[in-house]
Structure 1
Amino acid sequence: MVLFLIGVLILIVCGFAYGKYCENVFDPDDRVTPAIAKADGVDYVGMKKWKNQLIELLNIAGTGPILGPIQGILFGPIAFLTIPIGCVFAGSLHDYFVGMISMRNDGAQVPTLIKKYVGTGTNKIYNIIIWILMLLTGVVFIYTPGDLIVNNILRMDINSNVIWIVYACILLYYIIATLFPIDAIIGRVYPIFGAFLGISAIGVFIGVLLTGGADLHPITSGALISEHPTAQSFIPVFFITVACGIMSGFHGSQATLISRTVKSEKEGRQTFYNMMLAEGFIAMCWAAGAMVLFNTTAPVDTTATLMVGEISKRFMGSIGGLLAIIGVIVLPITSGDTAFRALRLMIAEQFNIDQSVAIKRVILSIIIFIPAVLILFFAKTNAGGFNMLWRYFGFTNQLVAVFALLMISIYLKAHNKNYYISLIPGIFYTFIVTSYIFHADLGFSLDTRLGIEGYTASYIVGAIVSVLFVWFVISKSNSRKEYIQKLDN
C-alpha cells in the first residue's frame, strides 16, 4: 500500500513540477492557434479547455491502461514506481511536445512533422509504421469492447454469432465519428463517456484503499521485482506489456487531432501533459486492483479481460461493477473512433486530399475500413489470431513513440532548447523495442537462433541501436538546424 501511494504521489507532485518545466522549455505564447486560424467546422473547431481535456483523455485511454497494467503487475510491485515515473518523464512529455509542435505547424499530423524535422527518408518509413498502427489500433478497439459487451453485459458466449452484430454496431459508430465534424459527434457524446471513465477508475481506487491494503504485496517470489509466472524478462517485456499506461505512440496521433481544437497554446500543458498523468492514475488503479485479486481469488493465468469484470465486482459490487465495466468498454471505443479518424487525416494529408468535401471523406473512409474488417475477421476466426494482433500492436505502438521522441529531440536541439529531456527516454525506449523484437518469436528470435539463454544477444543489439539513435539525433539536428529555424521563424 505504501509503494502504491508513493506512486500516486509521484504522479501528482513530480507530474506538476516536471510538466511546468516542460512548458517552460517549449515556451507557449499568445499566437493564434490552428483552431482559430484554420477553422473549417470539421476538424479545425475551437472548443473549451475542459472539453479538449476530456476528449484527449478519452482518445488516449483505450484498453491499454487497463489490460496492460493488469498483466504488468505480475512483474511485481515495481510497477507502482515504473508506471508513474514513466508517465512523468516519458509518456506525458511525449504527448505534450507532439501536441504543441503540431500546434505550431497548423495542426499537422505526426508524419508531416517527421518529414519536416527529421527528413523525407525517415518519413517514408514512419508513414508505413504509423498507418499500420492506426489500423491495428482500430481493429483491437473493435475486438476488445465487443467481447466485453457480449461477455459481461449480454452474458453470452463471445464466440457466438451475436458477437458479429456487436462488432457491426461498434464499427457503425466508428464510421459516423470518422466522417462527421469532431464537435458534432465526439465533442457532444464524450462528456457522457467521461462519467463512466471516472466511475470505473475512482471506484477501483477507493475500493483498493478501503479493503485491499492487506493484499497489496508481491504475487510471486521476489520483492520489488517478482518472478514472472511465465518467466518473462522485466526488461523489455514489462514496458511493451504496460505500454499505454506509461507511454504510447498512438497518443501522438490523438494529440495532433486535439491541437486543431485548442484555442490557446497556454492550455497545452493541462490538455496534453496532465491528461497522460490521468491515464497513469488509471493504470495504477487497475494494477493495484489486479494485485489484490491475484493474491486472493484469481489464478495468475486469468486473462486480463476476465480480470476486468472480477476487479469491478470485487471493489464496486454488482451495480457499481457494471458501471465500471461499461467504463472499460467505453475506453477502447473512444480510442478506436479517433484512431480511424486520425488515419483518414494522415492519408489525406500525405496525398493532399481535401477533407472538407464530404464525398472525399466517404471514399477515403471506405478504403480504410475494408482492410480493418478483414483483419478483424482473421483475428476472430483463427486460433491465436488476436494474440498475434495484440503483440504486433504493442510493439508497433512503442516503435512509433520512438520516432516521435526522435522528432522532438531534433526540434528542441535545432531551437537551442534542452533536448536531453526527450533524448533520454528516446534512448531507453529504443533499447526496449529493439531488444524485444530481436528476441521475440514474432520478431527475429536472435537469442534462440544463436543458442544463447536469456536476452544477451538482443540486449547487445539494443545497446548498439540506442547509440545510433543518439548519433542520428545529433547529426540530423546539426545538419538541419538552419533549415528548421528558417521554416519555423
Structure 2
Amino acid sequence: MITFLSAVVLLIVGYAVYSKIVERVFGINDKKLTPAYENPDGLDYVPMSWWKGSLIQLLNIAGLGPIFGAVLGALYGPIAFIWIVIGCIFAGAVHDYFSGMLSLKHNGAQYPALVGKYLGRPMQAGINLISILLMILVAAAFTAGPAQLIAELTPLSFIVAIVLIFSYFLLAALLPVNKIIGRVYPVFGGILIFMAVSIAVALLFTDQSIPNITTANLHPENLPVWPLLMVTISCGAISGFHSTQSPIIARTIKKQSDGRKVFYGAMIAEGIIALIWAAAGMTFFGNTEGLQQALNAGGPAGVVNEISITLLGTLGGILAVLGVIILPITTGDTAIRSSRMMLIDLIKKGFSMADSKVIISAATIAVTVPAFLLSTIDYTFLWRYVGWTNQLVATVMLWTGAMYLLYNQKAHWVCGIPAVFMTAVVCTYVFYAPEGFSLSYPLSIVIGGILTLLIIIWYVKKIVSQNKKTASMNKAA
C-alpha cells in the first residue's frame, strides 16, 4: 500500500514541479492571442474555460485506456507502478504538453502538420496515413465492446447498437465542439474521476493489501516486462493517441498558460486513474494468477465489472455499466473528429471556403465508414495493432518536440531522452510481438538496439549541426 500511495504522491509532485520546468522550457506568452480568438469559426475554434478544457481533454485521452490497459498491465505486478509514474511524468505528460502547445503555437495545427514542420515532409506523409489509420482503428476497437453490452442489456441487436453509436459519432464530429462535446464531456469526465476515486477509497479498506514495490516480473505467463509493459500500459503512461486529440482542445484554449493545466494536468490525472486500476487488478483477485484467471473468464470488461460491483455494490454496477459503454464511445467520437480534421488538412487546398461544409461532411463520412466496417469484426484482433501503432505515433511526437526545442536553442533533452527510450520500445516490440515479426526475444532486443543506436546517431548529428549553425549565426552577428 505504501508503494501505491507514494506513486500517487509522486505524480502530484511531478505536476507541481516538473510541469513548471517543461512550461519554462517551452516558453509561453499570455499576451499573444490564441487560435480560439484569432480564428473563431464556431465549429472547432471556440474559446472555452481551462477547467472545461481539462475535463474534455481527460475524457478525450482516457476513455477505457487507463482502466483496461492498467488492469492488463497489473499482471506484471507492482513494477507497473514504476512505469506509470516515470512514464507519465517524464514522457506521457511531456508528450501531451508539447503536442497541445505546438498545435496552439501553429494556429491549431494537426499532429501530422507539426511532424512535417519539424521532421520534414517525407515523415509527414507517412505519419498522415498512420495517424488516420490509428484513429479509425481506435474508433472501431472502442465501439464493439459497448455495442455488445448494449445488446445484452437491451432488446437492441449488436448491429443496431453499432449503427446508433456511429450515428452519434457523425453528430459529434460535425457539430461545433461546444454543442455536444463541450456540454456533456465535463460531466462524463467527472464520472470517470468519481469512479476511480471510489475504487481507490474502497481498496484502502479491503482486507487485501495492495502489494508494495518489487522489480520482479510476476506475470503468470512469464511475458517479458521490456518492452511489452510499455505497450500494454500506454494510456496512463504515454500514448500517441493523445497527440491526435490535443489539437481539438488547443483550438479552444483562452491563454497559453492554461496549457499546463489542460495538457500536462490531464495526463497526470490519467496516470492516477491508471495507478488505481492497476492496484485494483493486483489486489482484488489475490495475486496475478487470480487476475489472469479472471481475465480469461470475462476479459477486462468482466474484471472491471466484478471489481466495481463487489467494492461499491449497486453504485459500482451502475458506474461499471456507464464506464464500459460511455467511456469508449467518448474516445471513438473524438477519434472520428480528429481524423476528420486531419483529412481536411490533406484535401482542403483544392477547395474554396464555399465548399467547406461539403468537405467537412465528406471527410467525416470517409473516416466513419471504414471504422464502422472494422467494428463488426473481432475487436481483440484490432486492439493488437492499436498498441504498437499508438506508441509509434507517440515516439514521433516526442522527436517532433525535441527538434522544435533544438531549433529554438532550448533544452531539447526534455523531449529527446523520452524519445530515445520510446524509440527502443517500438523498435524492439515490432520484432518480438506476434502482430509484428514474432522473432526470438534476444534477437528482437539486438535488432531493436541497433535501430535505436542509429536514431541516436542521427540525433547527435542534428545537435552538432544545429550547434554549428547557431555558433556561425552568433559569429556573424
TM-score, normalization: structure 2?
Answer: 0.92
CA distance in 1, matches of 2:72, 2:185: 28
CA shift in 2, pair 1:289/1:227, >3 Å: closer
CA distance in 2, matches of 1:14, 1:462: 30
CA distance in 2, matches of 1:102, 1:281: 26
Q: Deviations over 1:111-170 (max 9, x none)?
A: 00111111011111111111111110111121232234445xx189xxxx7222222221
CA distance in 2, matches of 1:473, 1:187: 40
2:143 corresponding residue in structure 1:
142
| Shift in Å, 1:328 | 4.1
What is the CA RMSD across the aligned residues, in angstroms? 2.2
Aligned positions of 1:170-249 closer than 5 A: 170-211=165-206, 214-217=208-211, 223-249=214-240
Q: Is the 8 A contact 2:97 2:260 kept in 1?
A: yes
Q: Deviations over 1:148-202 (max 9, x none)?
A: 4445xx189xxxx722222222111111001111011210111221232122111
Letter in 2 for 1:215: S
Letter in 2 for 1:233: P
Aligned positions of 1:261-340 closer than 5 A: 261-295=252-286, 298-301=290-293, 302=295, 303-340=299-336
Letter in 2 for 1:82: W
| Shift in Å, 1:256 | 1.1
Q: Is the 8 A contact 1:196 1:330 kept in 2?
A: no
| Shift in Å, 1:386 | 2.2
CA distance in 1, matches of 2:10, 2:139: 32
Letter in 2 for 1:365: T
Q: Deviations over 1:280-309 (max 9, x none)?
A: 011111111111222179552322111010
Q: 1:396 aligns with which of 389, 397, 402?
A: 389
| Shift in Å, 1:83 | 0.6
Bigger Cα displacement from structure 2, 327-336 vs 247-256: 327-336
2:22 corresponding residue in structure 1:
22
Q: Deviations over 1:416-439 (max 9, x none)?
A: 111111111111111111111101
| Shift in Å, 1:478 | 6.3
1:367 corresponding residue in structure 2:
366
| Shift in Å, 1:25 | 0.5
Partner-residue secondary structure (3-state), 2:234 = helix
CA distance in 2, matches of 1:155, 1:229: 36
CA distance in 2, matches of 1:273, 1:390: 26
Q: Is the 8 A contact 1:196 1:324 kept in 2?
A: no
CA distance in 2, matches of 1:438, 1:105: 36
CA distance in 1, matches of 2:368, 2:246: 22
1:460 corresponding residue in structure 2:
446
The percentage of counterpart residues that share the same residue type is 40
Partner-residue secondary structure (3-state), 2:437 = coil
Aligned positions of 1:421-436 closer than 5 A: 421-436=414-429
Partner-residue secondary structure (3-state), 1:442 = coil
CA shift in 2, pair 1:400/1:245, >3 Å: same
Partner-residue secondary structure (3-state), 1:244 = coil
Partner-residue secondary structure (3-state), 1:261 = coil
Q: 1:342 aligns with which of 328, 338, 342?
A: 338
CA distance in 2, matches of 1:402, 1:163: 36
CA shift in 2, pair 1:155/1:5, >3 Å: farther
2:66 corresponding residue in structure 1:
65
CA shift in 2, pair 1:282/1:419, >3 Å: same
Detail structure 1 runs of 4+ shifted over 6 Å in the superposition: 480-483
Q: Does 2:380 correspond to 1:387?
A: yes
Partner-residue secondary structure (3-state), 2:145 = helix
Structure 2 residue runs of 5 or longer lacking an equivalent are: none
Partner-residue secondary structure (3-state), 1:309 = helix
Q: Deviations over 1:211-265 (max 9, x none)?
A: 25x33238xxx94323311221100111111111210000001111111000100
Q: Deviations over 1:434-484 (max 9, x none)?
A: 11110122111222xxxxxxx11111111122122223334456668979x
Q: Deviations over 1:94-120 (max 9, x none)?
A: 000111111110010010011111101
| Shift in Å, 1:359 | 2.4
1:406 corresponding residue in structure 2:
399
CA shift in 2, pair 1:51/1:363, >3 Å: same
CA distance in 1, matches of 2:214, 2:21: 34
Letter in 2 for 1:323: L
1:451 corresponding residue in structure 2:
none
| Shift in Å, 1:342 | 0.4
CA shift in 2, pair 1:155/1:409, >3 Å: same
Letter in 2 for 1:194: G
Letter in 2 for 1:103: L
Q: Deviations over 1:294-336 (max 9, x none)?
A: 2179552322111010111122112233124313432211111
Letter in 1 for 2:113: T
| Shift in Å, 1:26 | 0.8
Q: Is the 8 A contact 2:64 2:323 kept in 1?
A: no
1:126 corresponding residue in structure 2:
127
Letter in 2 for 1:345: M
